[in-house]
Structure 1
């Protein structure tokens, strides 16, 4: 929309000083002539824009002009900026223009303090390494959410069962270290939570849907873990040589020193495929003390792993 482009031009001029008309034209994918028409419209709206000629010239705002920013304090603006900065760490820079808008209303005398505050906390959701399939799925799902279109994918459950799903997407959820999609599953005719790593061949459908109110009950990412019927008390032991792994994963209040340099950890966990994968991730540094049936299952899994590598020992 033209009004969005006009506001964006004003924000860019406030943050960057001088900008060439050609650069603005390329940025907004319009002609240079259109940019000059936009500049005229901005001037008519009472925002003073000046054109400077020469090799180092360009388009800029009259010196000293700033937008009104009395609605929010500098601290509140810094908090909003920090939140946008952290959310933008995964899946693109769609918030970059809004971040520029926020920066533009900070008085020059406060800009150093503003930058200091916005770099005090960094939450980076992106993984180490190059862009991968997970980021592509996030990008596709964000587009589907914005456009209110259904998505289709092949889904592999925690039990290894594969099914084709058509889902009306409602919410992207980052829980722990994993991304999930919460949406209305056409197959089950109810809201379900889908782990992005278990999706295959994700595509947007042409079918649009009307977003409805979310179910009133507690959301699954905050309730399912706590259901007593699905959890079991587990006691773990970390030997001294593996205590650093315990300290890296558990809070200090959850670690019980055994007096010999090791730790005991007692927590309630849902007994499913995730639990055994979690326990196996610690390798030989961990021992399950109780319950006995989980201890036996870990021993069986360990024996099966050892059998796979018996010819390599």
Structure 2
């Protein structure tokens, strides 16, 4: 374990340049004291590694030093063939590049690792999009990706859900994220960093000026914070619902993980009819109406009164429609 960590320190400094002990400890998930000990061990082994104190300090390899300790272990070689995303790579225009890179990697591996990596490809396949949804067309994605990579400002025409639906935006694109087969752009607009769905970009024009990406901006950390805030925005109210045994079972397949978790945590003992009362978050009455209609007669909303009334009205209208003779 320690030998692997020492190699990781060398590779991190080789690829990233100067890094502080704190940054190394966070990346390697060890204490700062452990990093100090590891650096001393590297010094003792003759590695040309030095450190500077102060706000701009950190550890750094002497210019020109390159470690040759880049051989892949069996697990590392296998993981590379599991990590590929052929669909998103193709959307970025990199499908052929990824395929060529895998062929070169396969050719460079020893026979034993090559056979194991080949079995991984034969036995595992990742399909990123969710069920019941076609992959979204994203004609502007290659241009967006180019602007992200080259740090170029873009002017877009964007379609959003609220009025006015079409807006113009000047963006500094920081990164791209693919979630459940959908692409999202994280970009600065004015003084704020926002998230844009790439499929909703109607047209895009690269601008001649560039921008400087903020030091320390962490795309993964931003996305996690965005998801947390998004989940919180969905919890604008609560609904008290009775669920049949079948409805309780179907809930996991029809509702979001937040709703399912809330139902599980709030579930009361089944009543005389075997139904379970739960309290779950709702975004709005209109949104909850469509959600609970999917459960049909396996759910009875008790509160709020407005939602219960709307469901009753909808059920009555459906009954009247289907009573009509053809």
Give the TM-score range, shorter chain. Answer: 0.5 to 0.7
Aligned length: 241
- Give CA deviations for 1:234-278 in whole Å, capped at 9, x if unaligned: 4445546656642424678755584767666544354497x4486
Matched, 1:284 2:296: yes
Alignment partners' CA distance in 2, 1:262 and 1:147: 58
Change (3 A) 1:161 1:239: farther
**Which consecutive residues of structure 1, in runs of 5 or more, have no partner in the other structure?**
1-67
Alignment pair present for 1:223 and 2:235: no
> What stretches of structure 2 of length at least 5 have no aligned partner?
1-67
Provide the residue aligned with 2:211 in structure 1.
210
2:186 is the alignment partner of 1:182: yes
1:97-246 equivalences in 2 (<5 Å): 97-126=100-129, 134-149=137-152, 150-157=154-161, 159-166=162-169, 167-175=171-179, 178-186=182-190, 189-197=191-199, 199-213=200-214, 218-219=222-223, 220-227=225-232, 231-239=236-244, 245-246=250-251
Deviation at 1:131, TM superposition (A): 8.0
Indicate if the aligned counterparts of 1:182 and 1:191 stay in contact, CA closer than 8 A.
Answer: yes
Q: Distance in 2 between matches of 1:312 and 1:171?
A: 57
The offset of 1:224, in angstroms, is 0.8
Which residue pairs with 1:268 in the alignment? 281
Relative to the length of structure 1, the TM-score reads 0.56
State the distance in 2 between where 1:126 and 1:239 align: 31
The CA distance in 2 between the partners of 1:285 and 1:204, in whole Å, is 51
- Cα separation, 1, equivalents of 2:297 and 2:143: 39
Distance 2:297 2:206 in 1: 47
SS at match of 2:100: helix
Quickly say closer, same or farther: Cα 1:280–1:246, change in 2 above 3 A. closer
1:57-68 equivalences in 2 (<5 Å): none
C-alpha contact 1:88 1:95 (8 A) present in aligned 2: no
Task: Determine the C-alpha separation between the residues in 2 that align with 1:141 and 1:110.
Answer: 37
Q: CA deviation at 1:300?
A: 8.3
Task: Rate the CA distance shift 1:73–1:269 in 2: closer, same or farther, 3 A.
Answer: farther
Which residue in 1 is equivalent to 2:54?
Answer: none
For 1:80, the equivalent position in structure 2 comes to 80
Aligned with 1:134: secondary structure? coil
Q: Distance in 1 between matches of 2:302 and 2:90?
A: 39
1:125 alignment partner, SS class: coil
Name the SS of the counterpart of 2:195 in structure 1.
strand
- When residues 108 and 236 of structure 1 are mapped into structure 2, their CA distance, relative to the original with a 3 A threshold, is farther
Residue-by-residue CA offset, 1:21-76 (whole Å, 9 max, x unaligned): xxxxxxxxxxxxxxxxxxxxxxxxxxxxxxxxxxxxxxxxxxxxxxx995221211
For residues 186-223 of structure 1, give each alpha carbon's deviation from its aligned partner in whole angstroms, at most 9, with x where no partner exists.
4xx311112345x2523232344224227688544233
The structure-2 alpha-carbon separation of the partners of 1:120 and 1:162, relative to structure 1 and needing over 3 Å to count, comes to same
Q: Residues 280-299 of structure 1: CA distance to partner in whole angstroms, max 9, x if unpaired?
A: 67263664635405624853
Q: Which SS does the other structure have where 1:153 is aligned?
A: strand
Contact persistence 2:288–2:307 (CA under 8 A): no
Shift of 1:113: 1.9
